[in-house]
Structures are given as C-alpha cells and as structure tokens.
Amino acid sequence: MRGSPQNPILPLDHLALRGADEADALVLREGVLSYRELRSRVSRLAAWLAHEAPEKGARVATWASKGELTCLMPLAAARAGLVHVPINPLLKHAQVAHILANSGAVLLMGTPARLKGLQDGDVPAGCRLVEEPEVLAGAAALGRDMEPSTADPDDLAAILYTSGSTGRPKGVMLSHANMWLGADSVADYLGLASDDRTLAVLPLSFDYGQNQLLSTWYAGGCVVPLDYLMPRDVMKAVERHAITTLAAVPPLWVQVCELDWPVETAARLRRLTNSGGALTVDLVSRMRALFPQARIFAMYGLTEAFRSTYLDPALIDTHPTSMGMAIPHAEVLVINDMGKVSEDGQEGELVHCGPLVAQGYWQDPQRTAERYRPAPEASRYGGIAVWSGDRVRRDADGLLYFVGRRDAMIKSAGNRISPQEIEEAALATGLVAEAVALGVPDERLGQAVHLVVRAAPGISDIEEELPRKLMQELPNFMQPKVIHWRDAMPVGPNGKIDRTGLQAELVA
C-alpha cells in the first residue's frame, strides 16, 4: 500500500518528525518535551528495544499508566521493527496472562506495582519482565540512536486487544499504514493544527485513545496525557494546560457536563469528540450549552477498522442521533441480506472497506474469516472488508443511523466487554453453578453489566462472597452492577439457557 506523492504513507515512527523543533510535543509530569526532544527520546528508546528484542516483528507489551513509556512506545517499537502490544492498565492478572500468551510477547514493560501483582503461571516462559524505570534508564544509558524506519507500510506495527461477544480478548493487527492513515484522517476532519493541545484522557491501549497521540502529532500539535481520578481533574487540566481538544466516551461526557465550568475555561475548548457509544439528544444539548464555542464531533468506529464515520458538527443540532458519513480513507456501505447496497431508509449491515481495514485477528484465522470477508461488489476499493455485524440505515441525505447490534457484546462506559469472560470468572470462583452476563440499558453507562447466577449447592454466605471474588479477578469496568440470584435458569427449546428471555426479563 502506497500513498500519493502529495500524501505519502510513511512508517509510523515518522510522525515524530512532523512538528517544529522547539514546539511542545508532549507534556509529562517530569516536564515538557519539545519535538526535538521527542525525536531524541523515540530514537533512544527504539535503539534499546532493538538491543533487548533483536528479532524483527517480535511482540513487546506495555502495562503501565500514561507516561513517557506508554506515549513513546507506539513510535519507538515501530522504529525498532517490533510490534507493540499495549495492555489496558485497568486489566487484572488473568487478562494480562491471556494477552501475553496469545501475543507471544518477549517483553512486558510496566510499573513495578503491576508487575509484582502477576501470579505464578501468568508470564509465559519466553517473556521477560522489565520495570518502567529500568526501561527508561536503560535507553538513556545505552546512549544509542536509531535512524527512522524504512519499513513497508503494510508491515505489522501493533496488536490491540479487544473483547468480542464470546471468548477471550482477540488481538486486532494494525499495520503502519492503518495507523498512519488513521492519524491523517482524524487530523483532517477534526481540523487539527500545530497550535492545538489535546488532553489525552482515554486509555492508550484503545484505538480511539492511541489516536489522540497520533493525530495530534500528525498535525504538529501537543499532547497532554492524563490519568484522571475525578471528572473535576479533567476541568482543571483544561485550564492548566490551555487544552483545545478533548475526546471522551458518553459516560465521561455526562460527568463533565455536571461540573460548574468557569466560562473562560470552557471557552478554551475548540472541539469535543465522542465515540464508544452514542450521544443522547439531551447530552448534546447540555454540551452545546456548556461549550458554545466548541465544535462537537459524534463518531462511530470499531477496532477492526479503526474509525468508520463522523457527523459534521454543523449537523449536530438537527441530526443529533446520526452517525454521520464515512471519514477520509474509509468507504462505508449499508448491505442488505441479499448482499446488495440497501435502499435509503432500509436497514442493513454496516460494511467498512478501504485502507483503514486492519489485517485481521492475531493467530485466529477462524474469527478473522468470520469478520474479515471480501468486500461487496459495490465497493470501489474491493479487497477485504470488515463486516461489522452492526445494523444501520441510511437516509436520503446519505447520513447513517445506528439500529442495533447483532452480537451480544456489552458496551459499558466505552468499554467492549465479553459476557463470556465475566461468566467464566464467576464460575471459576466455585460459588455458582451457572452464570449469564447481560448488558442492560443504563442512562450513565450506556449499558450496565448484570449477572444472573444459580448458586452452587452447599455453600453459605455466597451473596457476600461472590462480589468480593469478582473484584479480585475482574477489572472495575467488568464488575456487575447487579447480581440476580435464581433457583433455576430458564431453558429454551435447544436445551440452552434462554438468554433472550433473561434479557427481556431484566429490561422489562
């Protein structure tokens, strides 16, 4: 895959080369890095990585809060010819163990406290643990620079793990081109510029979170990473760092809009972006009232193809529930059950075609074949497309509207959660004989996790013990909001638990 001479596709690490030497590139707790310093740090870290993991294409994982390591790794690993595997810092040891084993990572770099929390058997034999301070000190001590990469844009650059509706998290394979064009696309339609300052509040292990870095650097702007504890921390950071761009998911927007923002602080924001769930009409109204100068971008995406659509901010008031149209470098089709483009107003499956389509799931040809299939005949790109499983409709103006989700995946607070993973954790406690995890509509979360269980016989104090056990094994965003106890599970005609009936009962 090659770009045009006017807009070439380059190896991902070349993003560090785009900003002016003395312009701010990254604001860390330890100080501010200019683009000149960013280039130097990326070069040194890449050289250290190549020294520690000399095999090209080896997977190197990070499990740490936002800081120098997690911010530089997407570029440094790409320059070293390695594949970055960022792990959500909220995950617990069992999820980390799965990602390490599945990816075949040879290094896990993380904060000391997190690495100490791993248990026997969590780390594969071929994987070495290195604490974050040791990594940064080692890169400085080695004192070696590494020239910008000459990798083919189609080479694998990262694996991002995302939960599906069934099974363990699966690794989405992203090439240099996928991530470069994603940065180009977002910087384009958001209108990012070199004087923009992005507050990166979303996890860098997510495609939407990582793009906060990449699109801002593509535009030559500055990134301010923030691990916030309270929504008020976000407001304070906007004022302290003169933030112009803020990306969030709906539950955070709800909390942000509940704050009493000083007029001068709110006026700093030029653009607000949303993904990971739909904005409600009421929430759009509150955002518009609180941030009248800001442009609001409603977006839809899936990790398998990065981002698919965005709504022009000029239409947010008149079409607040629309997903908008395809972003630059994406082709989005609505395909009916006959494999043809749906008529206006007719429901169909959203199919994403073009160069943003990822390379499939790491070491999972079966699930890759289910989601990544030949593009519809109507596609101008052809090749392989992502068949999303999401049902949408297109109006006469070409605007798309979300109808429903084909699978049972739970989407809570912007997180995609596998019901099976929660069920397996509940069963592993030995306290329950059967378990079903479901997503129930929730005003603040989008969907809340509800867990329906049948107790294992002969165990006392189970209602107090199960939540405690789940808290030890699952990250906070996977914790059930409500646990429903049943003497027996409903069974359907096929002999399986009637999930549809349970869902209807909980929603009623």
In a domain, 474, yes or no: yes
pLDDT over threshold 70, residue 393: yes
Task: Give me the torsion for CA of 496, 508, 409, 286, rounded to 10°.
Answer: 180
What phi and psi, each to the nearest 5 degrees, are found at residue 148? -55, 150
In a domain, 501, yes or no: yes
In a domain, 500, yes or no: yes
The pLDDT value recorded for residue 167 is 55
In a domain, 471, yes or no: yes
Contact predicate 164/367, CB 8 Å: yes
Q: Which domain holds residue 452?
A: 410-507
Exposure pattern of 389-398 as b/e (b: 16+ CB <10 Å)?
bbbbbbeeee
What is the H or E stretch that residue 472 is in?
helix 462-473
Report the C-alpha gap between 305 and 357 in whole angstroms: 4
The pLDDT value recorded for residue 1 is 45
User: How many structural domains are present in the chain?
Assistant: 1
In a domain, 414, yes or no: yes
Whether the full predicted model's pTM is greater than 0.85, yes or no, is: yes
Mean pLDDT, residues 395-404 taken together: 91
Q: Whose structure tokens read 């993904």?
A: 275
The pLDDT value recorded for residue 479 is 96
**Band of the pLDDT at 281, cuts 50, 70, 90?**
confident
pLDDT over threshold 60, residue 231: yes
SS3 504: helix
Q: What is the gyration radius of the CA atoms in the chain, in angstroms?
A: 23
Q: What is the CATH number of the domain that holds 472?
A: 3.30.300.30
The pLDDT value recorded for residue 498 is 84
The closest of 322, 305, 298 to 387, measured between CA atoms, is 305
Report the C-alpha gap between 268 and 276 in whole angstroms: 24
Contact predicate 411/417, CB 8 Å: yes
* Beta pairing, strands 128-131 & 222-225: unpaired
The pLDDT value recorded for residue 458 is 82
pLDDT tens digits, one per residue of 8-45: 899 999 999 999 999 999 999 999 999 999 999 999 99
The closest of 335, 351, 342, 344 to 397, measured between CA atoms, is 344
Contact predicate 344/401, CB 8 Å: no
pLDDT tens digits, one per residue of 350-370: 999 999 999 999 999 999 999
Specify which residues 361 forms β-bridges with. 172
pLDDT tens digits, one per residue of 138-176: 999 999 999 999 999 999 999 999 864 445 789 999 999
pLDDT over threshold 60, residue 293: yes
Q: Is 2 exposed, middle or buried (0-12, 13-18, 19+ CB in 10 A)?
A: exposed
In a domain, 502, yes or no: yes
The pLDDT value recorded for residue 234 is 97
In a domain, 440, yes or no: yes
In a domain, 446, yes or no: yes
Q: Which residue blocks in 108-258 are alpha helix, DSSP H?
A: 112-116, 132-142, 176-190, 207-218, 231-240, 250-256
pLDDT over threshold 50, residue 304: yes
pLDDT over threshold 70, residue 102: yes
Eight-class DSSP state of 223: E
Contact predicate 477/437, CB 8 Å: no
Mean pLDDT, residues 428-451 taken together: 92
Mean pLDDT of the chain: 93
Mean pLDDT, residues 367-375 taken together: 96
